[in-house]
Chain A
Amino acid sequence: MKNLAREILELHTLGVNGGYTQTDVTAFAQIITGWSIGGGKGRLAGGIPGCFYFRDNLHEPGAKTFLGKTYRETGQRQGEAVLTDLAVHPATARFIATKLVRHFVADDPPSAAVERVALAFLKSGGDLPQVYAALIEAPEAWNPDRRKFKTPEDFVFSTFRALDALPQKPQEMVSGFELLGQRQYTPGSPAGWPDISKSWDGSDAFLHRVAWASRVASRYEQGLDPVNLAASSLGGYARAETMTALRRASSASQALALFLMSPEFQRR
């Protein structure tokens, strides 16, 4: 429970510098005692297997103080009340805004954009569509000097979209994720996948990326015109030297691999 409480605070709401203490972590853990999953045996009987289930007999009774506020004893609702407050906390707004801007704008999130998005979060009480709208309206998001190196997942998805193809077997896509170091659903940490290019640009990972692009290109080149495909996919971002390189390629398959590995396509 204490670990879950810490993760909720650190990874999903306030963020590690969000102003909570070890005492808050302990209090929050007590507040969510009894939160459980249904379908156990004996003492843990009751509820629907695999679904949330509140076990009153495992809940630590009494009022608890968390982040300076006292929450009276309301069973399951005590934890819900805390989550409701956490969801609109200024530290949460800032934490979510930072993550969004880092993901969509730049590894080192520009503070003006973070402020703008955090403000929208606070003003709307955490209404995500309004938060996303603020992100879209941020001028930093439209900077043509795009600075995000695609994660393996971005790369694999965008490759199949650019090819306008569905993988012939699911395994083709799955093996792409695995080869490039991002096997789906297994981030290895409750914080999720890392979201900065340094986490994905190791020399071995880069080599695997080239290898995967080359393999996909040879499998999907039939009936494709790589130069036209690159021009329509990259639009205004296409560099002259990339288009020249594609035209001079020794085969359609090679041209396709060069397109997929071009800096324009590898960034987003």
Chain B
Amino acid sequence: MSPHHARTTRRRFLIGAGALAASVASPTVIFARSGGAARLVVVILRGALDGLAAVPPYADPNYAGLHRELAIAAPGRADGALALDETFGLHPSLVFLHARYLAGEAVVFNAVASPYRDRSHFDGQFVLENGLAKPLATADGWLNRALAALPGGAVHPRERGLAIGQNVPLILRGDVPVFSKSPQATPGIDEELLARLGDLYSKDEWFAARLAAALQTDRLSGEGGSVMDAPVMSPVSAAPDRLSIAARMAATLMRSDGGPEVAVIEAIGWDTHANQGGAKGALAQRLAGLDRALRLLGDDLGPLWPQTAVLIVTEFGRTAAMNGTRGTDHGTGGCAFLAGGAVRGGRVIADWPGLSHTALLDNRDLRPTLDLRSVFKAVLDEHLRVDAKTLATRIFPDSSGAPPLKGLIRA
């Protein structure tokens, strides 16, 4: 054990580690000031991403022993992590994200968690998405409440929120109309049938609203249709790369005239109980897919990138120790990412508690030291300009213990 390792066991803030990168006056900064309305893309990784693999704390003296063959080696070693700072790296699959970090356009969070402290995926996702302390599935989502708080709010003339998928996930459900669009091509429907359905639903508000939203989606997708024909970068597996298609579709719709300002993309497959792999293997392929989707999103957003923030979150982390089936089980503290031209990045934000016996939560999980709502609030405050009072009362009630972080978004 080198002296360097011993040093990293102390609790310390790592904010500002990449301040130099962020302060360089790049064209991005100029665009951000003149670029119009902010765009926000939220990527939900369902199934609980292993934060200790995605953001390996390679310098923590207990990391390699706990994570064993799933651990990612230090930067510079064979199959090593992509260096972030003296403690943390990125999984070697996250090449594009790492480039954004070096360009000052990505913040990496570690030891974060929602207020949820049990280990059910479903309840964990409900809390992540409803912005409350309790897993109420029937509540509405914090991102929809945020849309309601924007100028124009619920009576805004067009739909400002988009879910990529056939249906709208909890985070975006609520009073403000939003729409969903799946990467599956919509078959042509004859106009007359649609008009007659409109009449048929005239006395049934619920169905009338569904039809109106469907027609809105159909109108927007005139341009989105080309997404289906666009070649997708060489997928790792033979299976169609849904996440990349979803990312490109989100970008295309956001760039269309009157397109949405906020989009949600979901990615499944992070529940790595068995054969998780390390620098290579199952999780490495998933992460490569995520990285590829992120790059395509950036490419396709093009001129919108400078005013875009992409928030990547998961319901909780995974156990610090490898389990008996070469995977990891449901844990607590995990990682999150914020990337985009609007982000004041190049930093790791982690009040690292360490992975020693006594530091672990319940002697098994990474102890969270930052509430994800502090990140959500900062993004809504600095990026979408939601006022502080609404944030504290309506969007994240009972979150006084989670004040918004400052300076995540470029001024």
Residues of A that sit less than 8 Å from B by CB: 1-3, 6, 10, 16, 22, 107-108, 179-181, 188-189, 191, 196, 198-208, 210-211, 214-215, 239, 241-242, 245, 249-250, 254, 257-258, 261-263, 266
Contacts and interface: CB of A to CB of B under 8 A. Distances in A.
Contacts of A108: 138
B166 interface: yes
B101 to A, nearest CB: 31
28 contacts: A10-B120, A10-B122, A16-B118, A16-B122, A181-B166, A189-B121, A189-B122, A203-B181, A203-B210, A203-B214, A205-B180, A205-B182, A206-B210, A206-B211, A207-B189, A207-B214, A210-B211, A214-B190, A239-B203, A242-B200, A254-B192, A257-B193, A258-B196, A261-B200, A262-B200, A263-B200, A263-B201, A266-B207
A211 B186 contact: yes
Closest 8 CB pairs of A and B: A202-B167, A202-B180, A203-B213, A205-B166, A207-B214, A181-B166, A206-B214, A211-B187
A181 B207 CA distance: 19
A235 to B, nearest CB: 18
B330 interface: yes
B197 interface: yes
B135 A210 contact: no
A207 B192 contact: no
Given A203-B210, A207-B186, 18 more contacts: A3-B273, A16-B135, A22-B119, A22-B362, A191-B122, A196-B138, A202-B165, A202-B168, A202-B180, A203-B214, A205-B180, A206-B214, A210-B189, A241-B199, A241-B200, A242-B200, A249-B196, A258-B193
Contacts of B173: 198
Given A204-B179, A214-B189, A2 B329 contact: yes
A170 to B, nearest CB: 20
B189 A241 contact: no
Nearest to B135: A16
Interface in B99-149: 118-123, 135, 137-138
Contacts of B186: 204, 207-208, 211
B167 A181 contact: yes
Given A181-B166, A200-B167, A201-B167, A263 B193 contact: no
Contacts of B324: 1
Contacts of B201: 263
B312 interface: no
Contact of A263 (B121, B182, B184, B207): B207
Contacts of A207: 186, 189, 214-215, 217-218
A211 B189 contact: yes
A191 B120 CA distance: 11
Contacts of A196: 137-138
A189 B120 CA distance: 12
A238 B203 CA distance: 13
A242 B207 CA distance: 13
